[in-house]
Amino acid sequence: MRFPRSSGTLVHPTSFPSKYGMGDLGNEAKEFINFLSETGQTIWQVLPLAPTGYGNSPYASYSAFAGNHYLISLDLLVEKGFLKPEEVQEAELPIKTKAEYEKSYERKNPLYKKAFERFSEKKSGDQKKRLKEFENDNSFWLDDYCLFMACSEHNDRKPWNQWDKDLAQRKPAALKKAKKEFSDDIALHKWLQFEFFEQWYVLKEYANTKNIRVIGDIPIFVDHNSADVWGHPEYFEVDEQGNRMLVAGVPPDYFSATGQLWGNPLYKWSSLEKDNFSWWVERFRQMFNLFDAIRVDHFRGFDEYWQVDASEKTAENGEWISAPGHKLFNTIKDELGELPIIAEDLGLMTPGVIEMRDAFNFPGMKILQFAFDSDSSNSFLPHNYPQNCVTYTGTHDNDTSIGWYNSAPDIEKHRVREYAKSDGSEIEWDLIRLGMLSVADQAIFPLQDFMSLDASHRMNVPGTVGDNWLWRYTPDMLDRVDNDKIYNLVKMGNRLPGEE
């Protein structure tokens, strides 16, 4: 599927300047959408919106289908009459440039519970109807997810394969007992999902009315400690006790000398194929409901994936295994129609994965920070772009452009200055200009680059744990962005809506 010539910004909702320790789907999100509209941009790209597990990574989630209920806006719950202004004031935290997740969770949890109780007491006929429709529309995953979350909370968040054996292995009697025992918690989680999706769809509609498309992100793999693996162990490389046998990662590359050992259980593709890829069809259906388009992370993994034994400590010792990508995407297309997909095709791409990407006409990604480590044949240089691609200065896995330039080898600094005819003093704007004026159908830039921020504002360093996914901006930081400068570049690049 070809996308119109356009431009946009990459920023995750957790980065918005909410008053409650982390960004959410409230008014600050609308203010950001207004910024996009005022600057002529028509794309908002986000990271996965799923509930985060260990390390608060949106790529390590308790579910491939659910939403992160901590993104539910307390202010919007006040507007709906489920909370009182003085109640949410007690949950306020200073707005900083790093999220305070744990403090935020601790303060939000009792308020969410209180809001649910009031919803249950006051819900109108229309609200009951919408809740019932939501439960029916999401029956594929919702019951398993809510039961999983309730069981996890009552097992001190231990991985599901460390729960009681009968519950871990989903014995009918154990499931029946847990559903009865944890019925209140299950009901709360169902409402949290309902409210998350209600708030998200209102926000997405607001963006769409301003001619802004929202691009989501679908990680290829799911977390071991998730409702997906617990609910469908037949689709994953786990043993009868639920322990991982074969796990995902990538071999040594640009980001890591020992590769990246992600630890996600690999798929049993033969089992998935026997079911006509129903799990994947439902997953993509969910994503296409949530977003106008999606970026498929680690696209190569659908052609071949790096298989590592679960006992390994790094990703160095593994092997490439073929995956049924063509069959999968053909099945999804047959079931769901046109596929508005961007392929994350970074790293070493084989002829097979390139052929698969092009067979479905998926645009690939071009990262400007990768363009200056070799000669003029580098495929990330704008003069080598195909039209059907998306250009970025960097992604959530890269440094900010200023951070990249400051730490780059001298030869790369020289090449980018020569290429951009620049002295390097505003390298972030040099790269943005290169992307805006390139032939790429889409040009998308991390908000940090529009804000001219240094390496201390980086979102993620792949292969590391501890200080990632925290970045936020404060209201004054968005106010200081040069909107006219962005608008003029969008216009110069023929990327304004309706100018294609």
Tell me what pLDDT residue 257 has: 86
- Which residues, including other chains, have CB under 8 Å from residue 194's CB and lie 6 or more apart? 130, 131, 134, 135
Q: Find the mean pLDDT for residues 214-240.
A: 97
DSSP alpha helices (H): ranges in 319-446? 325-336, 351-359, 401-407, 410-420, 427-436
Give pLDDT tens digits for 124-142: 778 889 999 999 999 999 9
227 three-state secondary structure: helix
**Domain coordinates in residue numbering, the chain:** 6-10+13-492
Locus of tokens 């509209």 = 37
Question: For residues 16 and 24, what is the distance between their CA atoms, to the nearest angstrom?
Answer: 7
Q: What is the pTM of this model?
A: 0.96
Residues 18-77 have pLDDT tens digits of 999 999 999 999 999 999 999 999 999 999 999 998 889 999 999 999 999 999 999 999
Identify the band that residue 465 occupies on the pLDDT scale cut at 50, 70 and 90. confident
- Taking 90 as the threshold, does the pLDDT of residue 185 lie above it? yes
pLDDT value of residue 325: 97
Task: Output the pLDDT for position 178.
Answer: 98
Sorted by sequence, the CB contacts under 8 Å of residue 178 that are 6+ apart come out as 147, 150, 151, 167
Pairing mode, if any, of strands 304-309 and 364-367?
unpaired
Between 349 and 357, whose confidence is greater?
A: 357
Indicate which residues carry an active-site annotation. 297, 344, 397
Share of the chain above pLDDT 70, in %: 99
Could you tell me which residues are beta bridge partners of residue 230? none
Which residues are paired to 246 by β-bridges? Answer: 309
pLDDT single digits (tens) 251-278: 887 767 898 898 999 999 999 999 999 9
d(CA 377, CA 416): 14
- For residues 383 and 392, what is the distance between their CA atoms, to the nearest angstrom? 14
Question: Span 405-433, mean pLDDT?
Answer: 98
pLDDT of residue 499: 60
Tell me if 221 sits within 8 A of 262, measured CB to CB: yes
For 221, list phi and psi in degrees, rounded to 5: -105, 160
Instruction: Determine the pLDDT at residue 253.
Output: 75
- CA 38 to CA 212: how far, in whole Å? 11
Return the pLDDT at 263.
92
Question: Could you say which architecture CATH assigns to the domain 6-10+13-492?
Answer: Alpha-Beta Barrel (3.20)
Task: Give the Cα separation of 337 and 284 in Å (integer).
Answer: 11
pLDDT band at 1; cut points 50, 70, 90: low
**What is the DSSP code (8-state) at residue 138?**
T
Asked if residues 95 and 475 have their Cβ atoms less than 8 Å apart, the reply is yes
Residue 243 has pLDDT above 80, yes or no: yes
CA distance 42 to 486: 12
User: Across all residues in the chain, what is the average pLDDT?
Assistant: 96
CA distance 496 to 203: 22
What's CA 190's distance to the chain center, in Å? Answer: 22
3-state secondary structure of 401: helix
The pLDDT of residue 255 is: 66
pLDDT in tens, 86-114: 999 999 999 999 999 999 999 999 999 99
